[in-house]
Amino acid sequence: MAMSVGGDKAAEKPMSDINTTPLVDVMLVLLIIFLIAIPVAIQAIKLKLPDVRYDPTTTKPENVSLSITTDKEGRCAVYWNLSRVTHEELLTKAVDKLTAEIKRQGGVGNPDLELPEAHIRGDVNVPYQCIGGAIYTMQMAGFAKVGFISEPPAGGSVQRL
C-alpha cells in the first residue's frame, strides 16, 4: 500500500488502492513462458496412429509361412514351412508360388484376384538383417502383403478394441 503525504487536510487519510504493478509483471512473465512452451508441447505434424488389435490370423492354404532363426554359426536360417531355404531358393519359390496362384485364380485380369500373403515368424534373438532380408526377398518376388506373426503375452487376456 502507498500513502499520500503532504497537501491538504482531506487528502491525509491512507490510500487503499492496490499496487497492481507487481501483479502485471508476474502475469507478463507467465504469458511469455506459456507462449514459448506451448509450441514445444504441440506436435506440428498431424498423425493418426493405428489402433492396436490382436486379431487371430486366418490361415489360408495359399499363404506362405516363413520361420526365421539363426543356426549354430550365427547365420540366418530361413524356413519355408518346414524346409530350410537359401535366399536364392526363397526368391525362386516365392516367384513360382505367386505365379501359380495368379494362374489358378484366372490371371491378372481377374477383378476378384486375391494374392497370397507372406507370414513371418521371427525368433526374438535373430538380428534384424535376417528378417529384413526375408521381407525384401518376398517383396522382390511380388508379395504385396508381408506380415509378422507374434504371440500375445503369456497369462494375459487379449483385449479387443
What number does CATH give the domain 64-148? 3.30.420.270
**Residues with pLDDT less than 70, the chain:** 1-11, 39-57, 151-161
- For the chain, the DSSP string reads -----SS-GGGGSPP-----HHHHHHHHHHHHHHHHHHHHHS-SS---PPPP--PPP---TTSEEEEEEE-TTS-EEEEETTEEE-HHHHHHHHHHHHHHHHHHTT-TT-TT-----EEEEE-TTS-HHHHHHHHHHHHHHT-S-EEE---PPTTPPPPP-
pLDDT of residue 132: 92
pLDDT of residue 71: 86
pLDDT of residue 98: 92
pTM of the model: 0.60
pLDDT digits (tens, 9 = 90+) for 45-83: 565 655 555 666 677 888 899 999 988 888 999 999 888
Q: Show me where the domains of the chain are located.
A: 64-148
pLDDT of residue 85: 94
